[in-house]
């Protein structure tokens, strides 16, 4: 087994004339919680989209568990073992929480089954219920997703990502728009999830990230500015200058 | 039994409920030929509803499948002397094939562009068939699709003389189709269609190949509409070129909307309402389309769930 679960080699991403990522080479340690941070416009979201398969990079390679997966279609990422939660809540709004997760589980097993009655899929429903328990939604199983509170919808989204049993879980600003209480709950959940799988987190909130992550990648103007343990990053002069120091101006 | 239990029971036994209703329907309809039209157009709108109602993709080209189903069956019978039963299957398969080809081109687009591409491709089919005069009869349509008697072994149906026999013959095919349709929408594949309707991006991220799924659903939808066309060829004994016209595509959309898109009974109720209203209004005025259009507008504006969808909604809120 490699030490890295996923890495990018010389990844460049252009949109028309604009270069969002420039020659990004970085690796993500297996089994750890890595956070991608950086000021607004640093290219965090673009990088997230490259890692999660939404954008095939303009140049460079994406290596997952030692295999080159550059250009693999988005829907195959879940089957490879890479799942993501979106920055903007992205669930199946008119379906129940349970059905949301059940459909996500089904994606790995029965994509083209035209005949089995859904009532016979009780095994999938039980597993879906377990995922809802894990993210703290056990009392809302039959609630329509659109009727859940914002924080609950975000948790549901994480359950959807977990349903494909990923070895790598990617979270794009999972606490965006949350109240302080909801944020605390979410942080606990992230730590729990990170205890038995690799997690990559894009996050804006610096304090939150420093407290929970084991590895950090700092982006600035589409390039890697620094990479290392939270303490190294905190003491890195350049990072302090472009990012941490911003608040003091 | 309270109301929501009632809808639950109906939904659970929906195939039996439809069957029971359609068995007695010819005695409720003004005349038998109209009842047969409702069966055929209900099936046609049902086929469209798979992609329109359940998957949330609007196609304006489903006349191509109805028409190819009708012409396929008719041409096999008239020009090649094939028995009517295999002819129906030839019609269905040709419609399915048309749907596979059209679908492969159209699924690259989304939303209004998908509707426009399917419309344009269906018009291509219209002109191709129009210009195959020797086989299709061109502008005059295909005539002489005659099926006079059907030997069932124990009895012989004279379907020209007995419109009721013809109704039940068509119903036999429609019921099999309804049963299969019900299984499909209740299957795991059916829930993938709902997932795509609800959130395409999320479905993709979960690991569903959205384009492939859309293409498969579009093709299956074409098979059902093809059967509707095949049955219409037998019902009318002719295949008018209008059965490929975009007006025919619009009919399925209107019927599905009127009855309630994405509901199981909606398409049949929509077909029933549309054809019966048409039948009544044409006896009063030649401007029947004006009145039907107004009724349609009222539904789109005030009852977007359609007749059956509004009833379901009303019951579930009580």
Which CA distances in Å does B225 have to B53, B101, B201, B273, B317?
A: 15, 15, 29, 19, 34
Give the end-to-end CA distance of chain B in Å, rounded to a whole number. 13
The pLDDT, as a whole number, for residue B289 is 86
pLDDT band with cut points at 50, 70 and 90 for residue A89: confident
Tens-place pLDDT, residues B96-143: 999 999 999 999 999 999 999 999 999 999 999 999 989 999 999 999
Q: Closest approach of chain A CAs to the CA of B173, in angstroms?
A: 19
B184, B188, B198: residue with CB nearest A110: B188
- Pull the structure tokens for residue A2: 């490699």
On chain A, the residues whose CB falls within 8 A of the CB of B204 are 74-75
Q: What is the DSSP string of B202-230?
A: HHHHHT--HHHHHHHHHHHHHHHHHHHHH
Instruction: Answer yes or no: is pLDDT of A120 > 60.
Output: yes
Q: Is A99 on the interface with B (CB under 8 A)?
A: yes
Taking residues A90-108, what's their average pLDDT? 95
Taking residues A225-233, what's their average pLDDT? 91
Q: What is the mean pLDDT of chain A?
A: 91
Q: Is B120 on the interface with A (CB under 8 A)?
A: no
Q: Is B140 on the interface with A (CB under 8 A)?
A: no
The pLDDT, as a whole number, for residue B202 is 95
Tens-place pLDDT, residues A134-187: 999 999 999 999 999 999 999 999 999 999 899 999 999 998 888 999 999 999
On chain A, the residues whose CB falls within 8 A of the CB of B198 are 92-95
Backbone angles phi, psi at A163, to 5 degrees: -60, -25
A79, A90, A121: residue with CB nearest B202: A90
On chain B, the residues whose CB falls within 8 A of the CB of A76 are 207
Q: Closest approach of chain A CAs to the CA of B9, in angstroms?
A: 15
Q: Of A246, A223, A247, A225, which is closest to residue A236 (Cα–Cα)?
A: A225
Among chain A residues, the shortest Cα distance to B180 is held by: A115
Taking residues A221-243, what's their average pLDDT? 88
Q: Where are the alpha helices (DSSP H) in A177-223?
A: 180-194, 206-212
The pLDDT, as a whole number, for residue B199 is 95
Among chain A residues, the shortest Cα distance to B179 is held by: A115
Q: Please report the number of interchain residue pairs, chain A to chain B, with beta-carbon separation below 8 angstroms.
A: 97
Ranges A230-239, B75-84, B218-227: which has the least confidence: A230-239
- Pull the structure tokens for residue B177: 């189709």
DSSP three-state, residue B61: coil
pLDDT band with cut points at 50, 70 and 90 for residue A1: very low
The pLDDT, as a whole number, for residue A23 is 94
- Please, are residues B260 and B312 in contact by the beta-carbon 8 Å criterion? yes
B190, B195, B207: residue with CB nearest A78: B207
On chain B, the residues whose CB falls within 8 A of the CB of A102 are 191
Taking residues A56-74, what's their average pLDDT? 95
Taking residues B68-89, what's their average pLDDT? 96
The boundaries of the domain holding residue B52 are: 3-317
Using the structure block, give the residue that is written with the tokens 């299956």: B220
- Please, are residues B166 and B147 in contact by the beta-carbon 8 Å criterion? no
Instruction: Answer yes or no: is pLDDT of A244 > 70.
Output: no
Subunit contact A108:B207, Cβ cutoff 8 A: yes
pLDDT band with cut points at 50, 70 and 90 for residue A246: low
Q: Is B206 on the interface with A (CB under 8 A)?
A: yes
How many whole angstroms separate alpha carbon A50 and alpha carbon A74?
A: 10
A86, A107, A112: residue with CB nearest B216: A112
Contacts of A184 (CB under 8 A, 6+ apart): none
On chain A, the residues whose CB falls within 8 A of the CB of B189 are 110-114
Which CA distances in Å does B307 have to B182, B301, B313?
A: 20, 13, 10
Q: Is A108 on the interface with B (CB under 8 A)?
A: yes
Count of alpha carbons within 13 angstroms of residue B79, beta-carbon side: 12
The larger pLDDT score, comparing residue A3 to residue B230, is at B230
Which CA distances in Å does A156 have to A68, A103, B115?
A: 31, 13, 33
Q: How far is CA B207 from the centre of its chain?
A: 31
The pLDDT, as a whole number, for residue B312 is 87
How many whole angstroms separate alpha carbon B21 and alpha carbon B269?
A: 11
Q: Of A39, A33, A20, which is closest to residue A206 (Cα–Cα)?
A: A39
Instruction: Answer yes or no: is pLDDT of A247 > 70.
Output: no
How many whole angstroms separate alpha carbon B159 and alpha carbon B89?
A: 20
On chain A, the residues whose CB falls within 8 A of the CB of B184 are 114-115
Q: Of B47, B50, B15, which is closest to residue B193 (Cα–Cα)?
A: B50
Q: Of A3, A36, A57, which is closest to residue A199 (Cα–Cα)?
A: A36
Percentage, residues of chain A above pLDDT 90 = 78
On chain B, the residues whose CB falls within 8 A of the CB of A114 are 183-184, 187, 189
- Please, are residues B184 and B213 in contact by the beta-carbon 8 Å criterion? no
Tens-place pLDDT, residues B268-304: 999 999 999 999 999 988 888 898 889 889 988 999 9
- Please, are residues A182 and A158 in contact by the beta-carbon 8 Å criterion? no
Among chain A residues, the shortest Cα distance to B197 is held by: A92
Percentage, residues of chain B above pLDDT 90 = 78
On chain A, the residues whose CB falls within 8 A of the CB of B187 are 113-118
DSSP three-state, residue A187: helix
Tens-place pLDDT, residues B6-58: 777 877 788 999 999 999 999 999 899 999 999 999 999 999 999 999 999 99
CATH of the domain at B67: 1.10.3470
Interface test with B, best of A48, A87, A102, A106 (most B CBs within 10 A): A106
The larger pLDDT score, comparing residue A144 to residue A240, is at A144
How many whole angstroms separate alpha carbon A149 and alpha carbon A45?
A: 25
How many whole angstroms separate alpha carbon B256 and alpha carbon B49?
A: 6
Taking residues A115-122, what's their average pLDDT? 91
Among chain B residues, the shortest Cα distance to A53 is held by: B205
Which CA distances in Å does A13 have to A184, A203, A221, B134?
A: 34, 20, 12, 57
B194, B208, B216: residue with CB nearest A95: B194
Tens-place pLDDT, residues A30-41: 999 999 998 888
Backbone angles phi, psi at B141, to 5 degrees: 80, 175
Backbone angles phi, psi at B284, to 5 degrees: -100, -40
Subunit contact A111:B204, Cβ cutoff 8 A: no
On chain A, the residues whose CB falls within 8 A of the CB of B193 are none
Q: Is A88 on the interface with B (CB under 8 A)?
A: no
The pLDDT, as a whole number, for residue B153 is 78
Q: Is A102 on the interface with B (CB under 8 A)?
A: yes
B contact residues 144-183, partner A, Cβ 8 Å cutoff = 183
Which residues on adjacent β-strands are paired with residue B19?
Answer: none
Q: Count the Cβ atoms, other than its own, within 10 Å of residue B101.
A: 15
pLDDT band with cut points at 50, 70 and 90 for residue A6: very high
Which CA distances in Å does B14 have to A121, A135, B5, B10?
A: 20, 36, 14, 5
The pLDDT, as a whole number, for residue A141 is 93
Number of domains in chain B: 1
Which residues on adjacent β-strands are paired with residue A5?
Answer: none
Q: Is B208 on the interface with A (CB under 8 A)?
A: yes
The pLDDT, as a whole number, for residue A249 is 42
How many whole angstroms separate alpha carbon B271 and alpha carbon B45?
A: 7
């Amino acid at each position: 087994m490699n030490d890295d679960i996923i890495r990018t080699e010389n990844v460049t991403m252009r949109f028309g004339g604009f270069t969002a990522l420039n020659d990004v080479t970085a690796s993500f340690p297996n089994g750890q919680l890595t956070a991608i941070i950086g000021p607004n416009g640093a290219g965090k979201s673009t990088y997230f989209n490259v890692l999660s398969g939404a954008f095939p990079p303009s140049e460079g390679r994406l290596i997952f568990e030692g295999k080159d997966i550059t250009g693999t279609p988005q829907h195959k990422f879940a089957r490879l073992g890479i799942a993501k939660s979106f920055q903007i809540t992205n669930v199946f709004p008119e379906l129940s929480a349970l059905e949301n997760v059940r459909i996500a589980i089904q994606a790995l097993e029965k994509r083209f089954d035209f005949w089995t009655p859904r009532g016979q899929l009780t095994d999938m429903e039980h597993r879906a219920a377990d995922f809802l328990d894990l993210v703290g939604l056990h009392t809302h199983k039959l609630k329509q997703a659109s009727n859940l509170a914002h924080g609950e919808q975000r948790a549901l989204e994480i359950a959807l990502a977990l349903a494909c049993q990923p070895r790598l879980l990617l979270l794009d600003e999972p606490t965006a728009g949350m109240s302080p209480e909801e944020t605390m709950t979410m942080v606990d959940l992230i730590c729990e999830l990170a205890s038995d799988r690799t997690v990559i987190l894009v996050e804006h909130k610096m304090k939150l990230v420093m407290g929970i992550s084991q590895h950090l990648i700092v982006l600035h103007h589409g390039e890697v500015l620094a990479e290392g343990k939270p303490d190294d990053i905190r003491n890195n002069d350049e990072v302090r200058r472009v990012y941490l120091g911003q608040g003091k101006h | 039994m309270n109301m929501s239990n009632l809808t639950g029971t109906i939904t659970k036994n929906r195939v039996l409920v439809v069957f029971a209703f359609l068995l007695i329907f010819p005695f409720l309809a003004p005349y038998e030929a109209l009842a047969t039209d409702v069966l055929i157009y209900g099936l046609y709108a049902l086929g469209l509803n798979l992609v329109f109602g359940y998957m949330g993709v609007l196609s304006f080209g489903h006349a191509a499948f109805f028409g190819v189903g009708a012409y396929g069956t008719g041409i096999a019978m008239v020009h090649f002397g094939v028995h009517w039963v295999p002819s129906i299957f030839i019609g269905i398969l040709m419609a399915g094939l048309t749907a596979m080809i059209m679908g492969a081109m159209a699924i690259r687009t989304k939303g209004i562009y998908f509707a426009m591409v399917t419309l344009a491709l269906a018009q291509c089919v219209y002109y191709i068939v129009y210009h195959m005069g020797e086989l299709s009869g061109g502008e005059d349509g295909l005539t002489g699709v005659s099926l006079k008697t059907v030997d069932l072994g124990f009895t012989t149906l004279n379907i020209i003389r007995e419109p009721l026999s013809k109704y039940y013959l068509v119903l036999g095919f429609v019921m099999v189709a309804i049963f299969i349709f019900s299984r499909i929408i209740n299957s795991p594949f059916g829930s993938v269609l709902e997932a795509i309707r609800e959130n395409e991006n999320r479905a993709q991220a979960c690991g569903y190949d959205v384009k492939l799924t859309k293409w498969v659903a579009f093709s299956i939808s074409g098979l059902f509409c093809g059967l509707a066309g095949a049955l219409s060829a037998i019902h009318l004994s002719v295949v008018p070129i209008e059965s490929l016209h975009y007006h025919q595509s619009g009919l399925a959309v209107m019927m599905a909307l009127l009855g309630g898109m994405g509901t199981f009974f909606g398409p049949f109720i929509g077909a029933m309402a549309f054809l019966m209203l048409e039948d009544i209004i044409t006896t009063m005025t030649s401007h029947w389309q004006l009145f039907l259009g107004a009724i349609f507008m009222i539904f789109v504006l005030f009852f977007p769930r359609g007749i059956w969808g509004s009833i379901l909604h009303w019951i579930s809120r009580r």
